[in-house]
Structure 1
Amino acid sequence: MVIKGISVYLRAIKDEDMESIYMSCQEEEFLYMTGTRKSFTLDEIIKSYKQFSKDPTRYDFAICLVDTNEIIGDLSILDIDQDNKKAGFRISLHSRKTLNKGYGTEATQLAQKFTFEELKLNRLELEVFSHNIRGIKAYEKAGFKKEGTLRQSLYMNNKYSDEIIMGILLEDYQEV
């Protein structure tokens, strides 16, 4: 399955994507943005994605550039709850050189298209830490709305950060 946009497209994760995912997990800034303390080995990442591929409540996608087919990130629609017509969302770009180019926003919009038009869900939700200003702006640009705050939910790098709950509904998506 391929979900094509203007600059990026989403496709299923492949074995050859593991190295890019692994390298992104070594970036100190990216770990901080997601509140991740653990470092992962390549073997752990491979094992995790093999398990993910068997999970019927999630879809994992590689984010690739249309022009070069290069993988630049990954995203997941996870914890799919068909009874309540909702799912969670996470995204990660793999390199600083791809930041601030609109790729993350476009990939997020493609994930929304899949969520609302293919999966027929009503809600997509995520959590983001207050120190991740770039992420918050990208989510808002893609139509997510702030819905709640878990105050001082993360203590990392000698400071507290709030955890912000954001969501987009089918009706919000249809308006954008």
Structure 2
Amino acid sequence: MIKGSYVYIRPICDSDMESIFKGCQEDEGLYMTGTRNVFTMEEVVNAYKSFSQDETRHDLAICLLENGQIIGDLSIQEIDEHNKKAMFRIALHSKDNYGKGYGTEATRLAQKFTFEELNLNRLELQVFSHNIRGIKSYEKAGFQKEGILRQSLYLKNTYSDEIIMSMLYEDYVANLRFYEEGEKNK
């Protein structure tokens, strides 16, 4: 378990499936991630059983520190030990938790896990251009834009670009210093 000020992350367990399933039904979340399919509970359970056997990924629940309630999940996936890199994805399960800083804090905790526990050098993600809130959260957590795949998604009668963002270990260390200095100056 890795704790922040408002949330903590921990490995996903069987009791998390109901929340993950509900998150897979959330229209806004599906749109922001470019997901076209709606999954059944059985598909969600089977997917996470499969994920738990995959040594190139870590799936983690995002829980509120105050009461332990799961509010989202994230994944460090496609871990490439040879090149010291991985992919990142995150989802909050209810729009009631959007805009409260939980996603940004969980992203920072995932970075801590990636760079300090897994000892990787690069964490990468893709986000669609219509997900303005997600882009701002990733930037706030220190991710940098690297490139754009123009009009790579056609959804709701509109094209969206796919933005590639990353954080390197050196960026993570620089951000740590920045946050530590900010805390000292409070």
Aligned alpha-carbon RMSD (Å): 0.4
**CA–CA separation in structure 2 for the residues paired with 1:171 and 1:165:** 18
Q: What secondary structure is seen at the aligned counterpart in 1 of 2:76?
A: strand
Q: Give the number of aligned pairs.
A: 175
1:56 — aligned with what?
Answer: 55
Distance 1:133 1:157 in 2: 16
Q: Are residue 130 (structure 1) and residue 96 (structure 2) matched?
A: no
- Quick check: 1:3 aligned with 2:20? no
Separation (CA, whole Å) in 1 of partners of 2:146 and 2:47? 30
Corresponding letter in the other structure for 2:104 = T
Instruction: Please name the residue that 2:118 is paired with.
Output: 119
The aligned residue for residue 40 of structure 1 is: 39
Alignment correspondent of 2:90: 91
Superposed displacement of residue 74, structure 1: 0.1
SS at 2:53 equivalent: coil
Task: Determine the C-alpha separation between the residues in 1 that align with 2:22 and 2:118.
Answer: 31
Give the deviation of 1:13 after TM superposition: 0.5
Cα distance in structure 1, aligned partners of 2:87 and 2:163: 14
Per-residue CA shift, 1:78-126, capped at 9, x if unaligned?
0000000000000000111111110000000000000000100000000
- In the alignment, what sits opposite 1:70? 69
Q: Report the Cα distance in structure 2 between the residues aligned to 1:171 and 1:152, rounded to whole angstroms.
A: 31
Shift of residue 28 of structure 1? 1.1
Hey, what does 2:170 align to over in structure 1?
A: 171
Could you tell me how far apart the structure 1 residues matched to 2:2 and 2:109 are? Answer: 7
- Higher helix fraction: Structure 1 or Structure 2? 2
Could you tell me which amino acid in structure 2 is paired with residue 36 of structure 1? Answer: T
- Aligned partner of 1:20 in structure 2 is 19
Task: Tell me the distance in 1 between the aligned counterparts of 2:122 and 2:23.
Answer: 28
Kindly state the Cα deviation for residue 23 of structure 1 after the two structures are TM-superposed: 0.6
Q: How many Å apart are 1:6 and its aligned residue?
A: 1.0
**5+ residue gaps in structure 2?**
176-186
Q: Percent identity?
A: 68
Q: TM-score, normalised by structure 2?
A: 0.93
Normalised by the size of structure 1, how large is the TM-score? 0.99
Give deviations 1:137-164, integer Å, cap 9, x for gaps.
0000000000000000000000000000
For 1:33 and 1:152, locate their aligned partners in 2 and report how far apart those are by CA, in whole Å: 15
* Deviation for aligned residue 1:4: 1.0
Q: Deviations over 1:28-51 (max 9, x none)?
A: 111110000011000000000000
Name the CA distance, whole Å, in 2 between partners of 1:110 and 1:91.
Answer: 12
Question: Alignment partner of 1:18: what SS?
Answer: helix
